[in-house]
Amino acid sequence: MFNSFLKVCFMFLPALSILTAANSAEVFAEAEKYSVRVYVTTTVALESSQRGSGQGSGFIVQIDKNDGYAYVATCEHVIGDGICNAQISFKDGERIEAEPIYIDPVYDFGMIRFRLDEPGVPSDIKVAKLGNSDNLKIGDRVGTFGHPSGIEFSGTEGIVSSTTNSPPQGTGKFIQTDAPINPGNSGGPLILMKKGAIIGINAATSGQGIGWSLAINQVKPLIDKVISGDLPYTGHVGWMGFDINEITPARATESFLTNFPEDVRKAILITTVAPGNVADTAGVKPGDVVYAINGTIPVDEADYMVMMKDLADKVCTLTVSRFGEKKNFDLKAADRAADRPKEYISVAGMVVQPMSRSLQYWYDMDSSAVYVADVEEESAAASWGAYPGPVRAVAVGGTYYRITSFDGFWQAVKDLKPGDPIEMFYGMERIRSIVKVVYYDELEVPERHDVTVP
């Protein structure tokens, strides 16, 4: 009897395999119609890590023929926290101009849009079906779709490994999967294969077989608000003028004499305080432990960041523990979005901007410098070895200009002609390197641009 049962099972196994393969093929064929490849070039940066060109993935969440746009969901780190130029492409298609319309640096979520009448937009594009990420079970079969390591429109499969774990320093609710998530997959869909519905946005990997996707239910309300116009391009996050690290509650007690309630998973240690900022002026010190904000105790760094999202440009009460003694500070949290430079200069394939406050803090410099935010591939600047970084001086036509302002840099370079050399003096406290650049392409003449934010 048992042998007969086994024979029946083995008879159906090939059929089941064929059905599974057919289902996968259909799901990924649909994904090709709503998935896009995202190309980004940084225009201005807030921090040194935000620079250069990058790529990622995204998927269409709305097609509005009335306003003539298709709306794409992706990750904030694909678009970047600064200001960028964006393009998208479909399979075997040309690049299409796109427009970043929303970023959320707390949840690592962003949106862009493109016009439906742009040349190269296929006629059969579709809106992705969004599923329910709250009803997942460990073992559910899922697929990722995107552009891993530059490979276009590639699908892979795996399972849901966990619905309760989160990546290091991840904020919000995540889905853990063993489906491969590689560079280039970021912003692409995590698909529940049995329904062909998107249940996550691929965000990160923390090791072989450990991938992370932002749960789609967390951002569904944001998607609706962005499309309706009720949620403008923001990126607003409060910053009180200090950097933090997570430590265990046990270490907070042992090293800093601070006790927390049992539900606190990680304590927030203040590691550095920016000189002259609101926290420094108020008396906050490195080594202080954040105990509460407006009376609420953050349970970990992710919880702290969610609080900061609602405090941009607002006054709050920061409670710290200084070796067991509680101290309250009334601080107005700065809005990091307001720190974005308002203009930039393009010259010889370089994008040059003022030093934002974050960049000044990062490099321990003042505003008497400029920052090379991007060097375009195959440009004159790239061929001569220019690179992103702070520039303190330039030499043009045999004249040395010590940079004291962004306008001063413009005055030095605005009359450059094709064939004229410019020497860039990189460095912080001292000049670290000198790069000579000569351009010949009329398209690389110096131009000054205003930064426009949707």
Enumerate the active-site residues: 77, 108, 186
Q: Is 114 helix (H, G, I), strand (E, B) or coil?
A: strand
Please state the length of the chain: 454
Contact criterion met (CB below 8 Å) for 241 and 334: yes
Q: For the beta carbon of residue 393, count every other beta carbon within 10 angstroms.
A: 20
Beta strands of 189-266 (E only): which ranges? 189-192, 197-205, 211-215, 238-239, 242-247
Cβ-proximal residues to 180 (8 Å cutoff; 6+ apart), any chain? 144, 148, 156, 158, 205, 211
Listed residue (142, 176, 181, 137) closest to 158, CA to CA: 142
| 189 vs 31: CA distance, rounded Å | 9
Contact criterion met (CB below 8 Å) for 75 and 56: yes
DSSP 368: S
| 172 vs 303: CA distance, rounded Å | 8
Contact criterion met (CB below 8 Å) for 114 and 69: yes
Ramachandran angles phi, psi of 230, nearest 5°: -80, -10
Dmax (CA) of the chain: 96
Contact criterion met (CB below 8 Å) for 337 and 433: no
Alpha helices in 184-248 (DSSP H): 216-228
Q: Determine the straight-line distance between the first and last CA of the chain, rounded to whole angstroms.
A: 70
Listed residue (334, 335, 346, 339) closest to 450, CA to CA: 346
